[in-house]
Amino acid sequence: MGKKCVYCNDRVGKRECPALGGLICPVCCGEHRGVEIKCPTDCRYFQRGEKFQQEKRSEPYRKAWLEHNSDLLEEENYRLLNTVAIVERAVYLFYEEDQLLTDDRLITGLTELEKRLKPIEVPTQSLELTEFVHEVISDLIESGKVAKEQVREALARTIELAKDFSDGSRGLVQGLTGRVEEDYDLPETGEGEEIEPRESIITTPNQLNDYR
């Protein structure tokens, strides 16, 4: 008889859980890691599960993204499509530092940033994700690479899609980051200032044709 799982105290614990300091059963590990259990992100079970979920959710996220932005694709509004991609990549860079990011924190963080960019000043909260994405984007606005108004619109679109796509846990984070990893060029250093808007990263003509 093996030791009981430190989480459910019912099934047999099989995996060493660094967060709980004991043996956890694979079911509890799979269901609760990264959410109820604050995993150290270097845990191999967390890493493996995360990668699996990103691969699984990237395609549905891509599909939802194309649907949400079909009007922009139709209009060939690459300027705004690129700005959406800039927002998503900034989120990805944040995620690299904070892999336990949840859908709620992602949505709230971007919503606060959208408020901050309104022409009229409204009170906003200072959240880590808000500050991070704001810093990346401010540099681009100041250097004239993107317009503030475009960023606000890109944020509104990203938030709308995010709310639709979220499973209330981490499904959105996994879908978005999985998609960014597969489709976008990412700076190797993770430095925000290296982000450059580029038309080709959004949709190749083929992808556009596939969608139509």
Select 18 or 60, whichever has its Cβ closest to Zn ion: 18
Least separation in angstroms between residue 51's CB and Zn ion is 22
Q: How far is the CB of 70 from Zn ion (least distance, A)?
A: 43
3-state secondary structure the chain: CCCECCCCCCCECCEEECCCCEEECHHHHHHHECCCECCCCCCHHHHHHHHHHHHHHHHHHHHHHHHHCHHHHHHCCHHHHHHHHHHHHHHHHHHHHCCCCCHHHHHHHHHHHHHHCCCCCCCCCCCHHHHHHHHHHHHHHHCCCCCHHHHHHHHHHHHHHHHHHCCCCCHHHHHHHHHHHHHCCCCCCCCHHHCCCCHHHCCCHHHHHHHC
Nearer to Zn ion, 23 or 202 (CB): 23
Contact set with Zn ion (CB under 5 A): 5, 7-8, 11, 25, 28
C-beta of 36 vs 135, nearer to Zn ion: 36
CB of 169 to Zn ion, least distance (A): 18
Q: Nearest approach, Cβ of 46 to Zn ion (angstroms)?
A: 16
Closest CB to Zn ion among residues 21, 123: 21
